[in-house]
């Protein structure tokens, strides 16, 4: 299901206006609802005699860790309210109200404390003789921590018209599958070329204040657990990828990826063009020297330029975007560039205003052409390959060529091809505690062809990305495209507070010095059983001056239960370069479970040294890893954690077997844990004789205070 609009020309733009304004009005009403916490309510209106729990209701979602309670009863009755089987403090009692007819009374309590999860309240109704007439029970669930996210298409505004902000509604749930309370915030990441509206609106203010670091955040509004993520207005239809990281405890984080499609809307034609030319005729008579000898040719000559931009509706519901410049140089100032941007300092001297720029029709060649409708588009121009759904068959590059993408309810397809001389490079640089300069392995970088991010990786399992932050040029870093150097606006630490290593991951395109080569690929996927099963096949052809590589892969995801998911991938590659042909393969399988008190993950993955097209982390090359980890919550503050794993270096034969377990107690202000850890490393000596170090056991007890 997805939000759709009936759009035709200018009327379609008005439909988008109406839908956007309705969504904004609904959101304001949800946020400003004063009755959500039971405030400003006359409990006696229209109440008939009897005993009833008036507030909170069964589905109430508290917005703060305190609770108001209202219970209807007979005037001759009193109520003994209990929390966790203990009477509540008398100071929380707010009094009794009785109607004029003396037939109904309502007792109210305020400021009752709530803990995360289920909170049980029991109300004993006692008559004038002290006998318990009945007992009313209410379970109040306080959801304060996000565990997973689901899309809410019916409350989203998924439009890419360049005028309105696309709004993506996401419902955030806790471990029990209940909506998280209003006011909770968190971070997210978007794939380019899409940009959070927060960045555009606050960029100038942050720069003036000297606050360069920026991470977009969501905020849950209302009691349904819905956060509304606004994007900057865009004309780029296609798939938006939103990545979330939800901390499960001190050491583990759950990553979630959601995809939603932005639809372009047909509109009235906009045509802007410029043409200039010269036509003449050269001839010379009675000369002592021929015209050709002077460097000119006899006959007709011409010179000129044609520039055109057009956008509008064709063939009913199709939207066409066309841009052409016959005099376009090969790059800015002779340098190659991608995903063109406008430099306001060069063309428009605007300072201190709220102007934002949109570039519709970016192409490294003279022609840009895009034809789109509903869930499909095809283009000729600059694009991001965007194959990031998988781990082993991922391919994320910026190229100039042809691309087509389709996302239906069952089938989805992405394909691209580019005849380019560009070369792809990937560097992983360990942070050294400074802001730079950091030297990349190559210079001559294509303008706008880089993707820079900061990754924090688990110090024991390098395949786990603890945190990842995509950086923005001029906001987070500056780059010298010729020299291949990076300078950051803040220092990049070598490790975090848990001693996990921090890396600068730079993926970039370099200017090719050889003939153009064909780079192409795509992925075909399908969903079955209402989205519970998804599967796909991928193929990639990557060719550069260093050689050619082909990669094929398959992937599948199966949601066994609402709390359990199985993921499998397999891929094989073949490289042809100066050395003999090299084959590589990789596979992985993961099954993950998250429920109210129990979390578990079992995994196995293997990647040979010769696998891939330089898109995977270097630490995973030539490794085999398998393991199981789990956590059980024994109570509100107590949990048991454990894991066991085996790692093997396929090149050297070195292996590590490890296991650990710990008991952790944590409250709001302090925590303590105690546990034991076992590890055994083995390596093969030069003569391939079996050799092993003695295993060791470590016990540890620690406490933390914040």
| Beta carbons within 8 Å of 160's beta carbon, 6+ residues apart | 166, 234, 235, 236, 237, 238, 262, 263, 264, 265
Indicate if the pLDDT at residue 627 is higher than 90. yes
The two beta strands, 445-457 and 436-439, are unpaired
Q: Could you give the CA distance from residue 235 to residue 164 in angstroms, rounded to a whole number?
A: 10
Element at 645 (helix H, strand E): strand 638-649
pLDDT in tens, 389-445: 899 999 999 899 999 999 988 999 999 999 988 889 999 999 999 998 999 999 889
Residue 313: HSE in the Cβ half-sphere, 13 Å Cα cutoff: 16
Asked whether the predicted pLDDT for residue 56 surpasses 50, the reply is yes
pLDDT category of residue 209 using cuts at 50, 70 and 90: very low
> Which pLDDT does position 26 carry in this prediction?
60
Predicted pLDDT at 216: 83
Q: What is the pLDDT of residue 3?
A: 32
For the stretch 57-92, pLDDT in tens is 988 999 889 999 999 999 999 999 999 889 999 999
pLDDT tens readout for residues 178-190: 999 998 999 888 8
Please give the average per-residue pLDDT across 667-680, as a whole number. Answer: 86
Is the CB of residue 108 less than 8 Å from the CB of residue 69? yes
- Report how far residue 243's alpha carbon sits from residue 530's, in angstroms, rounded to the nearest whole number: 22
Q: Which residues lie across from 703 on neighbouring strands? A: 672
**Is pLDDT at 663 greater than 80 in this prediction?**
yes
Residues 589/603, Cβ–Cβ less than 8 Å: yes
Average pLDDT on 201-205 reads 52
Q: Is the peptide bond before 210 cis (omega within 30 degrees of 0)?
A: no
Asked whether the predicted pLDDT for residue 245 surpasses 60, the reply is: yes
pTM of the model: 0.77
């Amino acid at each position: 299901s997805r939000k759709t609009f009936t759009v035709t020309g200018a009327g379609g733009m008005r439909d988008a206006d109406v839908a956007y304004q309705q969504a904004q009005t609904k959101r304001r009403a949800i946020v400003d609802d004063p009755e959500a916490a039971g405030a400003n309510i006359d409990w006696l209106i229209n109440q008939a005699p009897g005993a009833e729990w008036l507030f909170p209701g069964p589905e109430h979602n508290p917005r703060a860790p305190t609770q108001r309670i209202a219970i209807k009863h007979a005037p001759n009755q009193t109520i003994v309210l209990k929390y966790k089987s203990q009477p509540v403090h008398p100071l929380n009692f707010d009094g009794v109200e009785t109607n004029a007819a003396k037939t109904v009374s309502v007792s109210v309590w305020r400021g009752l404390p709530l803990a995360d999860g289920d909170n049980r309240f029991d109300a004993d109704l006692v008559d004038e003789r002290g006998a318990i007439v009945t007992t009313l029970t209410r379970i109040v669930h306080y959801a304060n921590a996000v565990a997973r996210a689901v899309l809410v298409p019916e409350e989203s505004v998924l439009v890419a018209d360049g005028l309105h902000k696309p709004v993506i509604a996401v419902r955030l749930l806790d471990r029990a599958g209940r909506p998280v309370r209003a006011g909770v915030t968190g971070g997210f990441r978007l794939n380019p070329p899409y940009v959070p509206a927060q960045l555009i609106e606050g960029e100038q203010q942050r720069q003036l204040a000297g606050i360069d670091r920026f991470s977009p955040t969501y905020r849950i509004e209302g009691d349904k657990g819905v956060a509304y993520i606004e994007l900057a207005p865009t004309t780029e239809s296609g798939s938006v990828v939103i990545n979330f990281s939800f901390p499960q405890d001190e050491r583990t984080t759950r990553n979630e990826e959601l995809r939603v499609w932005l639809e372009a809307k047909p509109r009235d034609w906009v045509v802007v063009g410029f043409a200039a030319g010269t036509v003449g005729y050269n001839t010379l008579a009675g000369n002592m020297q021929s015209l050709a000898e002077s460097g000119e040719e006899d006959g007709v000559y011409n010179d000129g330029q044609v520039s055109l931009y057009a956008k509008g509706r064709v063939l009913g519901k199709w939207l066409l975007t066309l841009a052409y410049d016959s005099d376009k140089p090969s790059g800015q100032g002779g340098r190659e560039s991608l995903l063109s941007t406008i430099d306001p300092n060069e063309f428009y001297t605007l300072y201190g205003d709220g102007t934002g720029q949109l570039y519709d029709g970016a192409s490294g060649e003279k022609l840009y052409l895009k034809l789109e409708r509903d869930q499909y588009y095809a283009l000729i121009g600059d694009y991001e390959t965007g194959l990031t759904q998988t781990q082993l068959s991922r391919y994320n590059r910026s190229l100039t060529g042809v691309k087509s993408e389709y996302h239906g309810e069952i089938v989805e397809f992405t394909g691209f091809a580019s005849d380019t001389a560009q070369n792809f490079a990937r560097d992983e640089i360990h942070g050294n505690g400074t802001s730079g300069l950091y030297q990349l392995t190559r210079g001559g970088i294509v303008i706008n062809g880089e993707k820079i991010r900061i990754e924090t990786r688990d110090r024991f399992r390098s395949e786990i990305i603890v945190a990842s932050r995509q950086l923005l040029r001029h906001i987070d870093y500056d780059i010298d495209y010729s020299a291949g150097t990076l300078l950051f606006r803040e220092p990049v630490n070598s490790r975090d507070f848990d001693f996990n290593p921090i890396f600068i991951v730079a993926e970039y395109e370099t200017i090719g010095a050889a003939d153009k080569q064909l780079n192409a690929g795509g992925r075909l996927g399908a969903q079955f059983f209402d989205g519970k099963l998804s599967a796909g096949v991928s193929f990639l052809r990557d060719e550069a001056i260093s050689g050619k590589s082909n990669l094929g892969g398959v992937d599948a995801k199966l949601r066994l239960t609402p709390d359990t998911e199985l993921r499998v991938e397999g891929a094989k590659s073949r490289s042809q370069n100066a050395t003999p042909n090299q084959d590589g393969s990789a596979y992985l399988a993961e099954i993950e479970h998250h429920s109210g008190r129990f979390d578990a993950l079992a995994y196995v993955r293997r990647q040979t040294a010769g696998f891939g097209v330089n898109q995977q982390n270097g630490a995973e090359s030539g490794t085999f890893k398998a393991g199981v980890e789990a956590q059980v919550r024994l109570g509100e503050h107590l949990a048991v954690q454990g894991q066991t794993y085996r790692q093997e270096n396929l090149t050297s034969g070195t292996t590590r077997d490890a296991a650990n377990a710990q008991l952790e107690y944590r409250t709001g202000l302090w925590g303590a844990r105690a546990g034991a850890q076992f590890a055994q490393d083995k390596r093969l000596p030069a003569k391939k004789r079996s050799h092993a170090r003695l295993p060791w056991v470590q016990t540890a007890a620690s406490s933390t205070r914040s």
